[in-house]
Amino acid sequence: MSGRLVSTDPATGAVVWEGAKSDPAAIADALSAARGASIGWADTPLAARVAIVRAYAERLATARLALAETISRETGKPRWEADQEVGSMIGKVAASVAAQTERAGSRETVSSFGRAVLRHRPHGVMAVLGPYNFPGHLPNGHIVPAVLAGDVVVFKPSEETPATGDAMAALWRQAGLPDGVLQIVQGGRDVGAALVAGDIDGLLFTGSGTAGAHLRRALVDRPHVIVALELGGNNPIIAWDGDPQAAASIVAQSAFATTGQRCTCARRLIVPDGAVGDAIVDAVAAYGDRIRIGRWDELPEPAMGPLISVAAADRAREAVAGLIAAGGGVIRAFESIPDRSGAFVTPAILDVTGLRVPDEEIFAPVLQVTRVADFDAAVAAANATRYGLAGGLVSDDRDLWDRYARRARAGVLNWNRPTTGAAGTMPFGGVGASGNHRPSAFYAADYCAYPVASFEADRVVDQSADWRGVG
C-alpha cells in the first residue's frame, strides 16, 4: 500500500502531483485523529459550523482560478468547465445550509404528552471516497453536508486527482476548520479499502457501480455503518420528435459532455424507426462532428478534453470493439486523434438495434442507438437496464412526457434538457444498481445525521393519571 502516487495531465503526460501514498499507519492515525475530534465538532454550535463552512466558500471563491486550473490539469477538462465545477462547489454551501435546516434541523411541537422535540445528531466519522470526473464538486457534495451536520471526515480523493483533494483540504484549513475534522489520505483502491475497514460510522461513496456493490458487500457485517452510494448508469435518452437540429444539441450534450465522463451522460439513444429517427441520428452525428476537442487551456475553447487517461481510452476502445463484434453498425467511429496524447478520442455513435449488448456503463463519449417501432417500445428499451440513474425525453408532446415520467425508472429525469442537467437544490441519485436509495445533493443532509425524537417536560411530575389500573 505504501509507495508513491503520481497524477499527470492526460493531455500532455506532465506530472501534476507527486507524493506518498498513505500507508496503514497513516490511515489509522487519520481515523484516530478524526475520532478524537468528533465529539468536539459535534458539540460545536451549528451557527459556528455554518460560519466555517461559509468561510470555506469564500476561500473557494478567492482560489477559484487556481483550483479550476488544478482540476483542468488533473482531469484534462476545459478551463471553462473546471471553472463551472468550482462554481458548483461554492453554490453547494448555501444549498447545504438550506438543506440542513429543512431536512435535518430541529423542531418542537406541543402535545398532551409533553413537548415533542426532534433533533438530528451526527453519525461521527465519515469516510468519503471520491471519483475523478468531478474531483472537487462530488466529494464536496458529501463533505460540506457532513461537516455542517457535525460529522468528521476522512477523505480519499481519486488516485487520478490527488492534487485537487489536497487543494480542497488546504482551503478548509484556511477557513478555520479545527484539526482532525477533515483528514485526507491519498492512494488507490487499497487505501480506500483500508479506510473502509477502519473505525468509521459512515461511508459516503461516489464512483462506479462495481466498486459501490463491492463496498456494500464489504460492510454487510457492519450494519451500523451508514452507506450512501452514488453510482453509475447506462442512461437512456428517447428522442422522439421535434426539430432534429435542436434535438441533436440536447442528445449530443447528454452523451458527450465532459468527454462522456459524467454519471448522467446518455449512453443509449432511442429513436423511432423510420425517417424521423434517421433525421435525428444524422443530426446528432453531424453535431458530434462539430465538437471542438482540445487541451484545457487551448483557444478557441474546446468543448471536450481528453479522457482521464490512456488506460481509460483503451478500456472504452475495448468496449466499443465488443459492440462492433456483436454486430453494432458504426455511425461514427471511436478514434484517437493524430498528434494528441492517447487519452484524446472522438465521439462514437453505434447502431445496436436488435442486438444483445452488455448492460454496462462505458465511461466515455460513446452513444448506442436503438430504433424502435412505437413509444411503448421506446419506454421499454429505456428501462431495459439494471441501472436507474438518469433518463431523458426529447419531444414536443407533453402527453409523451407524462407517460415517460410515470413509467421511467430513474432518479434524474429530464424533458427537453440534457440528461446531464442537475441542480444542487434538488436531490440527486438513482435506483437499481445506480445507488442504495440515499440520494445526494439537497438530500445529502439525510444521510449525514440521524433523527432523535424526544418527549420532554421541564419538571418531574406524577404520571399516574396517564396510566390506568394502579391501585
- C-alpha 174/C-alpha 180 separation (Å) is 14
Q: Which of 70, 234, 235, 264 binds ligand SIN (CB under 6 A)?
A: 264
CA distances from 136 to 89, 109, 139, 143, 206 (A): 7, 40, 6, 10, 12
- C-alpha 370/C-alpha 277 separation (Å) is 10
Give which of 435, 451, 426 is closest to 141, Cα–Cα.
426
Residue 122 vs 427, nearer CB to ligand SIN: 427
Q: How far is the CB of 230 from ligand NAD (least distance, A)?
A: 3
Query: Are 146 and 468 spatial neighbours (Cβ–Cβ below 8 Å)?
Result: no
Residue with cell string 438530528: 120
How far out from the chain centre does Cα 360 lie?
A: 17
Q: What angle do CA 81, 86, 89 make, to 5 degrees?
A: 130
| Per-residue binding letters, 329-368, with ligand NAD (x by CB under 6 A) | --------------------------------x-x-----
Whether 448 is a known active-site residue: answer no
Decide: is 208 part of the binding site for ligand NAD (CB under 6 A). yes
Decide: is 132 part of the binding site for ligand NAD (CB under 6 A). yes
CA distances from 252 to 101, 245, 348, 428 (A): 38, 10, 11, 22
Q: How far is the CB of 229 from ligand NAD (least distance, A)?
A: 8
Residue 248 vs 312, nearer CB to ligand NAD: 312
Q: Which of residues 235-294 bind ligand NAD (CB under 6 A)?
A: 263
Question: What are the phi and psi torsion angles at 24 (to 5°)?
Answer: -55, -35
Q: Which of residues 101-130 bind ligand NAD (CB under 6 A)?
A: 129-130
- Choose the binding region for ligand NAD from 3-11, 188-196, 324-332, 453-461 (rule: CB under 6 A): 188-196
Residue 38 vs 96, nearer CB to ligand SIN: 96
Residue 193 vs 377, nearer CB to ligand NAD: 193
Q: Which of 75, 161, 395, 420 binds ligand SIN (CB under 6 A)?
A: 420
Q: Which of 158, 234, 235, 436 binds ligand NAD (CB under 6 A)?
A: 158
- C-alpha 225/C-alpha 126 separation (Å) is 9
Angle between helix 162-174 and helix 64-75 axes, rounded to 10 deg: 160
Decide: is 267 part of the binding site for ligand SIN (CB under 6 A). no
- C-alpha 134/C-alpha 155 separation (Å) is 15
Give which of 284, 277, 283 is closest to 253, Cα–Cα.
284
Decide: is 214 part of the binding site for ligand NAD (CB under 6 A). yes
Q: Which of residues 368-397 bind ligand NAD (CB under 6 A)?
A: 389
- Choose the binding region for ligand SIN from 214-222, 235-243, 260-268, 399-407 (rule: CB under 6 A): 260-268
Check the CA dihedral 185-215-133-182 and report its sign: negative
**What are the cell numbers at 348?**
462514437
- C-alpha 222/C-alpha 38 separation (Å) is 20
- Choose the binding region for ligand NAD from 21-29, 204-212, 241-249, 457-465 (rule: CB under 6 A): 204-212
Decide: is 401 part of the binding site for ligand SIN (CB under 6 A). no
Q: Which amino acid, one-letter code, is at 62?
A: T
Q: How far is the CB of 301 from ligand SIN (least distance, A)?
A: 20
Decide: is 85 part of the binding site for ligand NAD (CB under 6 A). no
Give which of 162, 193, 139 is closest to 4, Cα–Cα.
162
Whether 263 is a known active-site residue: answer yes
Q: What angle do CA 260, 412, 440 make, to 5 degrees?
A: 95
**For residues 366, 372, 376 and 377, what is the CA-based torsion angle, rounded to 10 degrees?**
-70
Spell out the alpha helix ranges (H) of 372-441.
Answer: 375-383, 398-407
158 binds, among ligand SIN, ligand NAD, none (CB under 5 to 8 A by kind): ligand NAD
Find the catalytic residue in 263, 265, 361, 448: 263
Query: Are 232 and 200 spatial neighbours (Cβ–Cβ below 8 Å)?
Result: no
Residue 131 vs 150, nearer CB to ligand NAD: 131
422 binds, among ligand NAD, ligand SIN, none (CB under 5 to 8 A by kind): ligand SIN
Q: How far is the CB of 466 from ligand NAD (least distance, A)?
A: 48
Decide: is 189 part of the binding site for ligand NAD (CB under 6 A). yes
Residue 132 vs 404, nearer CB to ligand NAD: 132
Query: Are 264 and 256 spatial neighbours (Cβ–Cβ below 8 Å)?
Result: no
Q: Which of 287, 428, 442, 443 binds ligand SIN (CB under 6 A)?
A: 428
Q: Which of residues 74-133 bind ligand SIN (CB under 6 A)?
A: 133
- C-alpha 57/C-alpha 121 separation (Å) is 24
What residues act catalytically?
230, 263
| Residues of the shown chain interacting with ligand SIN in the complex, contacts defined by CB under 6 A | 133-134, 262-264, 420, 422, 428
Which residues of this chain interact with ligand NAD, rule CB under 6 A? 129-133, 138, 156, 158-159, 188-189, 192-193, 196, 206-208, 211, 214-215, 230-232, 263, 361, 363, 389
